[in-house]
Structure 1
């Protein structure tokens, strides 16, 4: 858009003022337009180019200019279409104030030829300014003694608009005391005014609020208001009056000193000294109330100055007096009723009375142990008490009456489990927070003989060496009785029975009080290997209770028996056997075999054989197996060997100290043609190599059969031992240890049990089997490869007895 504001050529700057002055008289009042104030930007005003008969195409070449004479850029011309429009906000009140007429004068200047046009744009007033009072509030002070129809002038409102928009009308808010006096428009002497229509009473209406509204004549109407506050001045004619005749206050007990109870306020309708009030307690108030409460003489506040205790007094009635300071003082009265509210400041109190203590452990359920009473000085919920019990078992509380309880046995007692109960009874009130108290009742449980003596284990295994001194202590049994006092006093005795032909009491005895078991006579392992019996323990209760324990006494072997040679040697060391041997036999030929037994067991019965070499003799062509006792040749015999050999074989056990026996073998060397036939004796044999081979084959077959039978027997015995039940306590018999040896290859061997030497009168002796565990050390091996014997007793223990 192009506007008419352009610059004038430099050559014409000096001529322009002169020309304007010459032609000024020719350009007066050529055009007149009007526009409302507050019109929006771009509002159409008039077709100024058309009305001035100017061509649109000449506006720019002729340097069309618009001069607003100091009015700024309120109006502008569009050089494209020649229209005059509103360029910025036009405020009539700002331009012309309260003038009835308001116009904007414009000059239009065009060149070639130079012409000046005068344009007048009238600004039309709109109702955009409300009536305005000088102040938003008007204060009037009027004495309550003023006469009726008294007039009080007011200042009217002003309106920035003009004409009908500034024509004001007034109205007053409804009031029974005042009316509005509006003078006619033509009267200039009187102004607005209020007229008193009803007598004023300050005590009834000390202040009166009125609202005066002014309305202009515009469309739409605009209004302005002023608040009129009328203060009524006092006359002294009233006594003090409390706002309530009775003040009811709830005050918690134990409140702190200085706590506000109530503000007993009185009012006096008068003013000044006539309305100045002093507060005090009535002369009828008791000294007790004055010691607990205080009233402020100026404010009337009642505060606490002493202890307030609900349990001492539940209410306080206080008479309060208010007196003004007029020439003739007037007084007002009221009553303050203070209700003391209970606070939970008293814990419950418990009283316990025991009846039956101690309580027998077999006491029936429901037995009353103690009576309990509970008190609480508080009131309401603060004084409502509930009781609880710990532990919950085996007692319970039974409510017999209000705040009375019975401590009752609720389940069975067992003194051996718990001998004393610390029963805690807790009483808790219903306050918030609750207070509580507790009492402890010690309930002792009296013993009843309901437990028999108990041994630590049902069976004991005792090992005693044979040949013990008579009366020696071999073991101590001990039983524990869970009862108390005489019910726990235990005495011991033997369960008598027969051991073979003799009574058990001839072997052992037990001390009644200590439980010590003594062997009354020396024990002989060869006669009695296992003595099994029972000891009884009984308490001293009524009736007495008892239990038994089984003792297995194993008599351990000592080396008290020397080896004994078997036939054909005579008993002792003096016998000898004669043998004939051919000189043609080779090395390893068995000449004879020495056999001996030992009545002992274990290592004490493990025999070894040694060939005693005569002093000064040459190297002997014979040797003896360390563990077999076989005498054999060590080399081929020759002519240099003596015809007679006196062989002395020493048989020795492995006891400490070792015991021995000797066997003498007289060997005569003969030529092969003179050799006799093989002897049929079992213990010593001689013969040719063919005969020896036959004998060895027979022995081999017997050995294979024996090993096979031993394997089957081993499996049967192992299964039987695993599945067999524990033997009856009344049965006792010797369990002969079995001699078992292990070869270097770990094979099993079985030695037949010696005949029974122990008699218990019951049952039969058993045959035991022994297998070596891989964890055991291997048996010692002799030079001829034979292992030492190993003993397995009836308890399953393995050991080497040396």
Structure 2
């Protein structure tokens, strides 16, 4: 009952003991007595760590024990640390003065690690124990008083006061107890002879040796001492030292000599011969590691030494002579094991938070690494580093033997998607030992890249009259992000102009389709924007401008303009060669070569006529006089052809009537004059001719200026943008000509202007003047008459057609 009462008092004291933080170490310290029952309260760990009980489960509260069983557990409902299973301090820590269980408390969101140390307090639950129940001693009767006789010491598995032993012996007239205090403050018992023995009086002495510990309550152990008194060999072997101290490195090989013991015996003869033995008190483990030579007293290493296992060995050695009975001497050999650097450091990954998002801020914790080394001193001091250098990570030492791998620089998954690093740990021993572990840190993608197109603007040329639904182009954007962040869809921006009737785009592939046939004469340019959007959250966008130029085809035949009132041409003869009779005018709705017209006389037309190949002017090939058929009418058939492929054409029919000069005067006499007098026809024709020449000259000057300006632009090969009222320059000619067309263009995706008037200005300046006469092409020149009607010089023919619709 008194034992139970003591335990209860100790428990009450421990419960009332308040836990505190160790200064600078960041550890929580508790204490609990050994042999505590399951459920015994240890401490309010959640409260002491500053945690709310309600957040233990959401933050994944967990506790791990370093190298021990699950002696403790935490109730996550109330945050109390309690004893989970029976704890035997002697089994856990043996004779170590400090016995504690180290716990790691880990919580996530955010990651934190706490260290908890629970000290296991010793209770007096082990009584002193002797290795045998009976110890036999042989003492010669010749031994002198005060002779010492070592006795077996008791052992107590407890520590401290609970293991502080006191000895007593049953009363005896011949013997008394001699207590020796050792260097570790433990006590050893021995017998001391009070007076000489008399074998004839008492041959055997029976004594009871009792060992009592210092616990409350006290526990005891006993051993029977049987002392045989002999009347022979009264000198025992003696060692020159009672204790021998040896220092031995832990890497000592088998067969290494530890020490050579030497004992002496004052007897003579056979009683002087000595044999050496390990005492019966030596454990079997000692006998596996060390061996003593019976004859020489040499102690050698026969098993592996390990400083981390046992760093101090105490061996009781007996030197026994060959007397009958034999006498023995005793000594102690203390072997101190020296630590060497024979344990490489160890790495342990406690926590790993991957993948690391590429937008993570510097300082983000990636992993928690624990390092350890079983060696001591400098051999157990370790440093940690990562390889290769230059990575966007660094190691931070949080507390003893713990390192945090944190982000040091911003990440970019599009440049590096995964990092493979090696964590290396090295101790400070000589030679230094190291260990390493590979760590893969993938980088998580975020939607930080918008879709981009290879060009800012795409230019597409599509022939008019395309079939509906024709595939005209494919736009493609790139997004270096992955998965949904890199999944791109396309659509047309119809905010500024409805495109649904012209163009469509396939959202997945970016293919552009023309929904209806395009007509160059109506629409020359479709300009719009295609947008690309990824599937990230939030989505990112990219835009590109697409210009679809409609290419003209020769799908419009020339159209001849009818003369006013279809009046016939009246020609007064005689006329000189090269005299202009009339002019054919035609238009072509196409553009460029497809609208470049040439004029030819039909093969069936006869007479002194020719037509300007590009001007359409009808003139005489030679002088016509009255000898020609007067009063007759001539029908001329003029073919108008374009330069397209295939060639399209139209015909113009002209009627020319030849009259004499007298007939012309008579006809003119019938016309009213200003002032009431008739005006000659020749004078009227001359006035018209002068006006025509002045007009043509002015127009020629204007054409030359425009030609020079446009020729410079053509040589620079600068494309002019389409828009309302803007122009397209076509620099192409079979015979050195050029064409300037100013037409209305539809621009989609911009501000649409109103349709302007169509105006074509075509100037032909052939390197070699060409005319088509009766369908044959030859060199020609315009004959310019002087005031007397004679031809004074020739000039290259320049034909200008300016038509407005």
Using the size of structure 2 for normalisation, the TM-score is 0.50
User: Cα deviations across residues 75-116 of structure 1 (Å, max 9, x unaligned)?
Assistant: xxxxxxxxxxxxxxxxxxxxxxxxxxxxxxxxxxxxxxxxxx
Q: Does the residue aligned with 2:700 lie in a helix, a strand or coil?
A: helix
**Is the CA contact 1:581–1:686 (under 8 Å) kept in the aligned structure 2?**
no
Pair 1:369-2:366 in alignment: yes
CA distance in 1, matches of 2:574, 2:333: 152
1:453 matched residue in structure 2? 451
**Match for 1:556 among 551, 564, 569?**
551
In the TM superposition, residue 672 of structure 1 has moved relative to its aligned partner by 7.4
**Match for 1:465 among 463, 466, 487?**
463
1:585 matched residue in structure 2? 576
* Structure 1 residues 751 and 555: CA distance shift in structure 2, 3 A: closer
1:225 matched residue in structure 2? none
User: Cα deviations across residues 312-337 of structure 1 (Å, max 9, x unaligned)?
Assistant: 33345678899999xxx999999876
In the TM superposition, residue 530 of structure 1 has moved relative to its aligned partner by 0.8
**Is the CA contact 2:248–2:258 (under 8 Å) kept in the aligned structure 1?**
no
**Match for 1:546 among 532, 541, 545?**
541
Q: Does the residue aligned with 1:463 lie in a helix, a strand or coil?
A: strand
CA distance in 2, matches of 1:788, 1:453: 56
* Structure 1 residues 717 and 563: CA distance shift in structure 2, 3 A: closer
Pair 1:659-2:679 in alignment: no
**Is the CA contact 1:245–1:333 (under 8 Å) kept in the aligned structure 2?**
no
**Is the CA contact 1:533–1:550 (under 8 Å) kept in the aligned structure 2?**
yes
CA distance in 1, matches of 2:357, 2:492: 33
Pair 1:515-2:510 in alignment: yes
Bigger radius of gyration among the two: 1
Q: Does the residue aligned with 1:751 lie in a helix, a strand or coil?
A: strand
1:402 matched residue in structure 2? 400
CA distance in 2, matches of 1:410, 1:758: 52
In the TM superposition, residue 737 of structure 1 has moved relative to its aligned partner by 2.2
In the TM superposition, residue 461 of structure 1 has moved relative to its aligned partner by 1.7
CA distance in 2, matches of 1:661, 1:585: 30
Q: Does the residue aligned with 2:705 lie in a helix, a strand or coil?
A: helix
- The range that moved more, 282-291 or 410-419, is 282-291
CA distance in 1, matches of 2:718, 2:612: 36
Q: Does the residue aligned with 2:379 lie in a helix, a strand or coil?
A: helix
Mapping of residues 734-749 of structure 1, within 5 Å: 736-740=727-731
Paired residues, what number? 507
Mapping of residues 631-710 of structure 1, within 5 Å: 631-633=618-620, 646-667=635-656, 699=696, 702-708=699-705, 710=707
In the TM superposition, residue 264 of structure 1 has moved relative to its aligned partner by 4.8
Identify unmatched segments of 5+ residues in structure 2.
1-236, 669-681, 759-766, 771-776, 781-795, 800-805
**Match for 1:599 among 589, 596, 607?**
589
**Match for 1:308 among 300, 305, 316?**
305
1:343 matched residue in structure 2? 340
CA distance in 1, matches of 2:470, 2:683: 54
Pair 1:613-2:613 in alignment: no
In the TM superposition, residue 753 of structure 1 has moved relative to its aligned partner by 1.9
CA distance in 2, matches of 1:341, 1:389: 32
**Is the CA contact 1:569–1:577 (under 8 Å) kept in the aligned structure 2?**
no
2:501 matched residue in structure 1? 506
CA distance in 2, matches of 1:367, 1:692: 95
1:566 matched residue in structure 2? 561
Flag the structure with higher strand content. Answer: 2
**Is the CA contact 1:249–1:336 (under 8 Å) kept in the aligned structure 2?**
no
2:616 matched residue in structure 1? 629
Mapping of residues 373-452 of structure 1, within 5 Å: 373-390=370-387, 393-452=391-450
2:742 matched residue in structure 1? 753
CA distance in 2, matches of 1:277, 1:492: 108
User: Cα deviations across residues 102-157 of structure 1 (Å, max 9, x unaligned)?
Assistant: xxxxxxxxxxxxxxxxxxxxxxxxxxxxxxxxxxxxxxxxxxxxxxxxxxxxxxxx
* Structure 1 residues 621 and 362: CA distance shift in structure 2, 3 A: same
**Is the CA contact 2:490–2:508 (under 8 Å) kept in the aligned structure 1?**
yes
Using the size of structure 1 for normalisation, the TM-score is 0.50
CA distance in 2, matches of 1:424, 1:362: 23
Q: For the aligned residues, what is the CA RMSD? A: 5.6
CA distance in 2, matches of 1:648, 1:630: 13
Mapping of residues 124-523 of structure 1, within 5 Å: 246=244, 248-253=246-251, 255-257=252-254, 260-261=256-257, 264=260, 288=285, 291-292=288-289, 304-316=301-313, 338-354=335-351, 356-390=353-387, 393-497=391-495, 499=497, 503-523=498-518
CA distance in 1, matches of 2:512, 2:567: 49
